[in-house]
A and B are shown apart, each in its own frame.
Chain A
Amino acid sequence: DQQVKQNSPSLSVQEGRISILNCDYTNSMFDYFLWYKKYPAEGPTFLISISSIKDKNEDGRFTVFLNKSAKHLSLHIVPSQPGDSAVYFCAAKGASMEYGNKLVFGAGTILRVKS
């Protein structure tokens, strides 16, 4: 039972254009969402996060949008750069003691930015 889903395994974008990575979740107890970037043979690095009380968070070229009613979030990268090419993981966690600080990850989306 996948609680966090990234339905697009890969995305190819031209340099300078916008990259939009999507993520859906099923568990309404999740209240914090994060995006991580991962290169092969390395650990994930944190990019940006959003609390469920917000619908948008922006940090430089990265913006995350959250639609709670649709249980959907997206990561926008603009302008995209070749160095952004990596696997992007969406992750979620819940506030209750049951979840602690556990992160539930999506399957990841491979982003390729072509120059």
Chain B
Amino acid sequence: GAVVSQHPSWVICKSGTSVKIECRSLDFQATTMFWYRQFPKQSLMLMATSNEGSKATYEQGVEKDKFLINHASLTLSTLTVTSAHPEDSSFYICSAPRRRDTEAFFGQGTRLTVV
């Protein structure tokens, strides 16, 4: 079964509004979670590393004020796309490494469409 749950799986919002995406680790604690973005027919691009209890680390070129990350507990990280624009439309995926495993587990992804 899924060990990382992401919600919602899809969302349509109006331009200028904000959207929050949740990522939960289901049966383990994750001090670190990762947020990725995938454009059509392209690879998964790491946006930021979410750190429990501290500030997220953003990859080069990712606007931290645009993509707000909150890792308030050991099982929940949220990504808020603020003042969304059509160019923010994409597939957003989170992942969390489980300590005893070497591979990271991914959420189901969120399809964001900004109209």
Residues of A within 8 A of B (CB): 32, 34, 36, 41-46, 49, 89, 100-108
Residue numbers in B under 8 Å from A43 (CB-CB): 4, 6, 93, 95, 106-109
Residue numbers in A under 8 Å from B106 (CB-CB): 36, 43-45
- Complex Cα distance, B51 from A113, in Å, reads 40
Q: Quick one: closest B residue to A51, CB to CB?
A: B102
The 18 listed contacts between A and B (C-beta, < 8 Å) are A41-B9, A41-B10, A41-B111, A42-B109, A43-B6, A43-B106, A43-B107, A44-B44, A46-B103, A49-B103, A89-B43, A102-B46, A103-B34, A103-B46, A103-B104, A105-B43, A106-B43, A107-B43
- Complex Cα distance, B43 from A108, in Å, reads 6
Chain B nearest CB from A50 CB (Å) reads: 10
Residue numbers in B under 8 Å from A36 (CB-CB): 106
Number of interface residues of B (CB under 8 A): 25
Q: 1/0 per residue B49-81: CB within 8 Å of A?
A: 100000000000000000000000000000000
CB pair B91–A49 under 8 Å, yes or no, is no
Residue numbers in A under 8 Å from B42 (CB-CB): 107-108
- Complex Cα distance, B9 from A102, in Å, reads 23
Asked whether B25 is an interface residue with its Cβ less than 8 Å from the other chain, the reply is no
CB pair A102–B103 under 8 Å, yes or no, is no
